[in-house]
Amino acid sequence: MWLTPLYRRVVRVGLPAFLIAMTAGLWMADEGRRAMLTDGIAGVVEKIQSRDAFQVKMMTIEGASPAVDKALRGMLPIDLPASSFDIDLVALRLQVLQLDAIEDIDLRIKPGGVLSAVVKERVPALLWRHPRGIEMLDATGHRVAGVTSRDVRRDLPLIAGVGADQASEEALELIDAAGPILPRVRGLVRRGERRWDLVLDKGQQIKLPAEGAVTALGAAIAMHQAEDILGRDIRVVDLRNPSRPIVQLGTDAQNTIRSARGQPLLGPDGKPLEEEKGG
């Protein structure tokens, strides 16, 4: 039994390991020794992290507007210079992506102690007017920033109504399809969160269907090019049922017809005017 390989292995390996573990356990049982060991390890770690090779001394930002640049620098959790071990790039990136104006950002620490931030900002494509104000949206409908008035970005198409931001891509398709009448377009109004009205100058509207709005608008433009319907006294072109388009005449055109029929004329509010009583 004393000469079995297992017993010899236990005596040669197990017994010394047990003695070492027991000695370490007895030494660590003292609170003062544990504190001394912990402080020693912390001191070594701090000494390593404080080396110049791990120091971040400056931050560079590319692709950001002045306002976003300022916001990014303000979001840095510590003052520079600082140890790279104190900067959580993953957490910082997630925090930065909360800014509406930023679509993406690449953060990395480069040689020489430089914290590099390469920013991709959202590109404003639309203005969305809603009960709380006016906001710039990108092509996907994501908020970019708020604006004080339409005049701030007159170069951007205007959409309005509840849920209009959720249909931004279709709105841009309609603006693109407007083509020949684009100079007359004043904006798009979302109706019932399901369809659009295209608003033109001179108080005209083109009511579009919930499905196939781009095709319907193309048909309306084709009618206009063939018959100049939008150049006439027409208030509404209703294409909600594309197979049965309806045209609503303006007040002047209606009064011409009513006059020929001997009917009372309509006032500006669309209601018949009272006939003058004889004296």
Give the helix ranges, DSSP H, for the chain.
5-9, 15-28, 31-49, 66-75, 89-96, 168-178, 213-227, 251-260
**pLDDT band at 42, cuts 50/70/90?**
low
Q: What is the largest CA-CA distance in the chain?
A: 142
3-state secondary structure of 269: coil
Question: How far is 125 from 172, CA to CA, in rounded Å?
Answer: 8
Residue 267 is encoded by which pair of tokens? 């006032």
**Where does 163-260 sit in CATH, by number?**
3.40.50.11690
Beta-carbon count within 10 A of 102 CB: 21
CATH of 52-121, one of 3.40.30.10, 3.90.550.10, 3.10.20.310, 3.40.50.300: 3.10.20.310
pLDDT single digits (tens) 132-181: 999 999 999 999 999 999 999 999 999 999 999 999 999 999 999 999 99
**Side chain identity, residue 89:** L
What lies within 8 Å, CB to CB, of 126 at 6+ separation is 136, 137, 139, 141, 156, 157, 158, 159, 168, 171, 172
* C-alpha to C-alpha distance for 180 and 202, rounded to whole angstroms: 16
Lowest-confidence region among 28-37, 141-150, 231-240: 28-37
Domain spans of the chain?
Answer: 52-121, 163-260
Residue 210: which of 167, 248, 180 has the closest Cα? Answer: 167
Kindly state the average pLDDT of the residues 231-251: 87
* Digit-coded pLDDT (tens) for 64-106: 999 899 988 888 777 777 777 788 889 989 999 999 999 999 9
What does each C-alpha distance from 279 to 262, 263, 265, 276 come to in angstroms? Answer: 21, 21, 21, 9
User: Stretch 233-238: mean pLDDT, rounded?
Assistant: 90
pTM: 0.72
Please tell me the predicted confidence (pLDDT) of residue 74. 87
Instruction: Quickly list H helices, 62-199.
Output: 66-75, 89-96, 168-178
Question: How far is residue 140 CA from its own chain's centroid?
Answer: 7
Range name among 72-81, 106-115, 256-265 with the lowest pLDDT average: 256-265
